[in-house]
Structure 1
């Protein structure tokens, strides 16, 4: 698979990811008030987080800035990994996986870098794009999430220690297209590990790549 095709995958995912985020951000109110039930197990619900899994934050005044800079550096590293894999004519599995991970990471970085100065907040009203009163500053934007799959919910059995009788939901995470791309890329590396990292024979290495 060529580097050009990998870049095409990245561009498509970024466009879809940002289109969905901007649409949701400007047409949904934060939290339950803006929820749409697509099915019993699939809902559209706008939330925002600091950019880490499960809404985790790095404490301190510069925690968000540190996270954003770290993620930017990580994307540069992933970009070099993609270039190097292309130069070595690596397998299609590896190229697709890296492209997906790169696109997902870049998509969330766009939120973190720009959204704080582009949008106002979504609490109790619809957000405005290019607002005169943005909710944040450069590198301090929040990542927009909206895909919610509470497939089943109920209560833990009373006899269960600690959690007995408490409510639960599965699947409780809310995520976005970029998160899906990262998870899919990592999944490919795990499930198709041998094919992704297969080494070409000496004869194959001298043939032009057909991928």
Structure 2
């Protein structure tokens, strides 16, 4: 797969991701929910940290939330830059299409969430008890690099008490699936999943070709 095709995939994912986030941000209040199906809801939350809202300051108590957020955003920028160089490298070396596609969608997802972290704080007002406005007169809800990632996809597929006969977890209340995520998260998870499931195909060296039998026979003659 060429870099041009990979770029088109990246742009498409970014457009879907950002359009969905901007729509939610400008039409929903924080924690507002719309039920699409019983197993799928649009539920607006904002993630100030890593996966499932975890913050670096939760692990390193000597770091303030503001400093932890800045460090996390800068780390994400460095990481996505590295992924970008990796993508360019594999396309130049004409690696497998599976590998290029996986890296491209991981890059798109990571970049999509970085845009939230870097710019959303200055572009939008807060969403708590109100619908946010774009480019508010009094300024945004946070400084640059301190924005929150917009999440909205929620799949509460099943919840209930597990049978008592199950070892360890029997009798406990379980809810599946609790995390709320976005299109960018889907892209990252899908890309990583492809690299894990199709590991051998993704990382095979397509530049190496077997010597045809006829050519081998002629050389021996």
Q: 1:71 matched to which residue of 2?
A: 76
Give per-residue Cα distances to partners, 1:81-126, cap 9 Å, x unaligned: 0011011100000000000000000000000000011111111111
SS of equivalent residue, structure 1 residue 38: strand
Partner of 1:169: 175
- The Cα offsets for residues 157-200 of structure 1, whole Å up to 9 and x where unpaired, read as 56879877553210101000000000110011011111100112
- 1:56 counterpart (54, 73, 77): 54
Task: List 4+ stretches of structure 1 deviating above 3 A.
Answer: 156-167, 201-204
Measure, in 1, the Cα distance between the counterparts of 2:127 and 2:16.
Answer: 21
Q: 1:39 aligns with which of 37, 40, 50?
A: 37
* TM-score, reference length from structure 1: 0.90
> For residue 30 of structure 1, what is the aligned residue in structure 2?
30
Once the two structures are superposed, residues 53-95 of structure 1 have per-residue CA deviations (whole angstroms, 9 ceiling, x without a partner) of 0100111231000000000000100000001101110000000
Matching residue within 189, 193, 201 for 1:195 = 201
CA distance in 2, matches of 1:117, 1:201: 47
* Alpha-carbon distance in 2 for matches of 1:202, 1:22: 46
**1:143 has 2:183 as partner:** no
SS at match of 1:195: helix
> What corresponds to 1:95 in structure 2?
100
Q: Distance in 2 between matches of 1:76 and 1:85?
A: 14
Cα distance in 2, alignment partners of residues 3 and 159 from structure 1:
54
Aligned length: 202
Task: Name the residue aligned to 2:13.
Answer: 13
Contact 1:51/1:108 (8 A) holds in 2: no
Alpha-carbon distance in structure 2 between the residues aligned to 1:165 and 1:121: 41
- Two-structure CA RMSD over aligned residues (Å): 1.8
Name structure 1 gaps, 5 residues minimum.
205-211
How far apart in 2 are the matches of 1:5 and 1:129? 32
2:121 corresponding residue in structure 1: 116
Using structure 2 for the length normalisation, give the TM-score: 0.86
Structure 1 residues 28 and 95: CA distance shift in structure 2, 3 A: same
Per the TM alignment, residue 155 of structure 1 is displaced from its structure 2 partner at its CA by: 2.5
Q: Offset of 1:51 from its aligned partner?
A: 3.8
Report whether the alignment pairs 1:179 with 2:179. Answer: no
For residue 112 of structure 2, give the secondary structure of its aligned residue in structure 1: helix
